[in-house]
Amino acid sequence: MKVKICGLNPSRDVQLCIDLGVNFLGFVFYTKSPRNVSLQDIEILKTYNRLKSKFVAVTVNPGNEFIENIVQKHFDYIQLHGAETKKRVEEIKSMGLKIIKAIKIRNENDIDKYKEFESADIILFDTPGMEKSIEFPKNLISKLPKGDRFALAGSISQNNIENMKKLGVTFCDLSSNLETDAKIGYKDHQKIKKFIKKLNEIKN
């Protein structure tokens, strides 16, 4: 199972995630978020040997200037978490970027929205909450398309990852469930280690 951990701190969390073999490391560029990364922090990302880990710039309706000056120079993927249209996603794709397009799922009717984003490399099915983790409805998980191109977010943790695998999930995205109870946006390294340990156990 592939794993993406989102909302990471460039100076504090990255090396641990690389060492644990996390597939995708997400860095949030959204000023309203407590997980927002400053432009100064980007310089730190240059110092890491990424090995097999991919760095993802998580954005909301990004402009071309930001994409050209930040994303293209420092990241492997851009995640589009806003109201980007099919045309806009295709424009960004034409800039030579690999794209993760988030689709917010409120009900079964929302699932087919992914079909208009054929240019996206990865489709992320997520719950409507931007900052607060909301559990993805279990009755809808079985209705989602499966495969390496499709990822799932929404209150995934070490407590339910085994059940997610049984439901056919092969790519998961985590954030708030790997944070300390006391501080939003502050990753708990023990929770990260325990999650990866659990994931490795159910792989075998």
Percent of the chain having pLDDT more than 70?
97
Question: What is the tens place of the pLDDT at every residue in 74-102?
Answer: 999 999 999 999 999 999 999 999 999 99
Amino acid in the structure at residue 68: E
CATH of the domain at 132: 3.20.20.70
For residue 3 the two structure tokens come to: 């794993």
**3-state SS track over 91-138:** HHHCCCCEEEEEEECCCHHHHHHHHHCCCCCEEEEECCCCCCCCCCCH
How far apart, in whole angstroms, are the C-alpha atoms of residue 19 and residue 119? 31
Number of compact structural domains in the chain: 1
Cβ-contact 126, 102 below 8 angstroms? yes
Cβ-contact 127, 153 below 8 angstroms? yes
Residue 134: the pLDDT is 73
Please compute, for residue 122, the number of CA atoms within 13 A of its CA located in the half-sphere on the CB side. Answer: 28
Question: What is the tens place of the pLDDT at every residue in 122-140?
Answer: 999 998 765 556 778 788 9
80: containing domain: 2-203
pLDDT tens series, the chain, 204 aa: 999 999 999 999 999 999 999 999 999 999 888 899 988 888 899 999 999 999 999 999 999 999 999 999 999 999 999 999 999 999 999 999 999 999 999 999 999 999 999 999 999 999 876 555 677 878 899 899 999 999 999 889 999 999 999 999 999 999 999 998 878 889 999 999 999 999 999 875
Give this prediction's pTM. 0.94
